[in-house]
Amino acid sequence: MLKMTTPFKRLHLVRTLYRSSQIGESSSYLLVSCKTYSSAISNGSEGNFRSLYPHLLKGQDGFPFTGVKSLTLRSSMATELSIFMNDKRMITTQAKAPAQARQVGQQISLSSPGFIYEPYEPREKIPFWKRWFTISGWRRTKVDIILELKSAYAIAKLRKKGYSKKQFYKEAVNMYKEINTLIANGDRRSLRKSVTEKMFSALKNEIKQRESAWSKVYWEMVEPVVMIRTLRARLIGVDRKDLDKTFIQLTLEILAKQKFEAYDSKGSVVAGDKSKEVLVRDIWVFEKSMFHPGARWRLCGRITPKASYLSS
């Protein structure tokens, strides 16, 4: 009898833990530590930096979760998380100084890590039976929980700096509108202030290619935006001796109605129709220094949604 009940107890525990990954940001903190992530290499297409994990962020910080329902897990459940997690520390990646970093004395002043850390990808949905009754499903659940914990940890750190989701979303929408307008107008000078160095280089090339095909572009966003939400949050450490020296990246999904029209050198319309509204889904990554006084949010990258994600 005892042998029969043990698996069901474990299943009940796993279901409770997984539901915790659906808790909203406003829910109570989970006072536990999560797994130490092994050394990893960042996406090679993002730049020349390896995202290593040489240091650990020690402590028992709170972890707000993202989702719909509210649930509080007591700290007494920390030991039960050993089913999924073998260590008790949270870490950030360590960024190497890029070429544009300025060296002052023995210190390096970074304006941006220069890459997107762990670019967001939508997780493929799996059936309930596969998640809870197969080894691969349990492994997938473990990965899902770790991803949520990393985002929750980054948001918790950001809140200590006075972060307000409502205020940030308002600022992000204004930046989204401003940056798209500057791109349409080809205003490189103003654009530099709102994006990181690497992103500015990419946008300059994009504008140059567009201007070779179209003489002028009209772009307009129909306000308010249809939807905006946070998909991922990540911290990037830049000094292994000082864990407070970090950058944070927030990946946002923005769904908005837009109007677009392109003209040739004679003023004739060659693409688009500004009388029609088009629903556009964008995934933008915003970045901010957590240790530079007066640091502002800037666009550091854009992620192209996959076809399956666009249809969902």
* Residue 276 counted as domain residue: yes
Q: Is the domain of 187 the same as that of 297? A: yes
Looking at residue 20, its pLDDT comes to: 46
Q: Is the domain of 141 the same as that of 250? A: no
State pLDDT tens for residues 94-115.
Answer: 555 554 444 444 444 578 899 9
Q: Is the domain of 180 the same as that of 277? A: yes
Q: Is the domain of 144 the same as that of 199? A: no
Of 88, 92, 98, nearest in space to 245 by CA: 92
Looking at residue 81, its pLDDT comes to: 35
Q: What is the DSSP string of 26-83?
A: TSPP-----PPPPP----GGG-S---B--S-B-S-------SSS-----GGGGGGGGG
**Are the CB atoms for 6 and 39 separated by under 8 Å?**
no
Q: Which residues of the chain have pLDDT under 50?
A: 1-5, 14, 17-18, 20-91, 99-108, 308, 311-312
* Residue 37 counted as domain residue: no
Q: Is the domain of 173 the same as that of 151? A: no
Q: Is the domain of 154 the same as that of 227? A: no
- The whole-model pTM stands at 0.68
Q: Is the domain of 158 the same as that of 188? A: no
Cα–Cα distances in Å, from 24 out to 27, 216, 230?
5, 44, 12
Looking up residue 265, the CATH number of its domain turns out to be 3.10.450.240
Of 97, 91, 92, nearest in space to 47 by CA: 97
* Residue 291 counted as domain residue: yes
**Are the CB atoms for 286 and 172 separated by under 8 Å?**
yes
* Residue 292 counted as domain residue: yes
Q: Do β-strands 278-289 and 298-303 pair in parallel, antiparallel, or remain unpaired?
A: antiparallel
* Residue 174 counted as domain residue: yes
Range of the domain at 155: 128-162
Q: What is the C-alpha separation between 27 and 110, in angstroms, rounded?
A: 34
* Residue 168 counted as domain residue: yes
Share of the chain above pLDDT 90, in %: 57
Q: Is the domain of 169 the same as that of 213? A: yes
Looking at residue 239, its pLDDT comes to: 83
Looking at residue 240, its pLDDT comes to: 84
State pLDDT tens for residues 140-171.
Answer: 999 999 999 999 999 999 999 999 999 999 99
Burial of 111 (0-12, 13-18, 19+ CB in 10 A): middle
| Angle of helix 135-159 versus helix 2-20 axis, rounded to 10 | 40
Q: Is the domain of 195 the same as that of 229? A: yes
Count the Cβ atoms, other than its own, within 10 Å of residue 154: 22
* Residue 305 counted as domain residue: yes
Domain boundary among 162, 177, 207: 162
Q: Do β-strands 216-237 and 246-263 pair in parallel, antiparallel, or remain unpaired?
A: antiparallel
Q: What is the C-alpha separation between 153 and 167, in angstroms, rounded?
A: 20
Q: What angle do CA 210, 305, 187 make, to 5 degrees?
A: 30
The DSSP call for residue 90 is B
Looking at residue 293, its pLDDT comes to: 87
Mean pLDDT for the chain overall: 74
Count the Cβ atoms, other than its own, within 10 Å of residue 62: 14
* Residue 50 counted as domain residue: no
Overall number of domains in the chain = 2
Cα–Cα distances in Å, from 215 out to 177, 267, 274?
21, 8, 16
The helix or strand, by DSSP H or E, that contains position 299, with its residue range, turns out to be strand 298-303
Q: Is the domain of 156 the same as that of 168? A: no
Determine the residue type at 17: L
Q: Is the domain of 172 the same as that of 142? A: no
Please identify which residue in the block is written with the tokens 């530079």: 292
By three-state DSSP, how is residue 168 classified?
Answer: helix
Q: Is the domain of 207 the same as that of 135? A: no
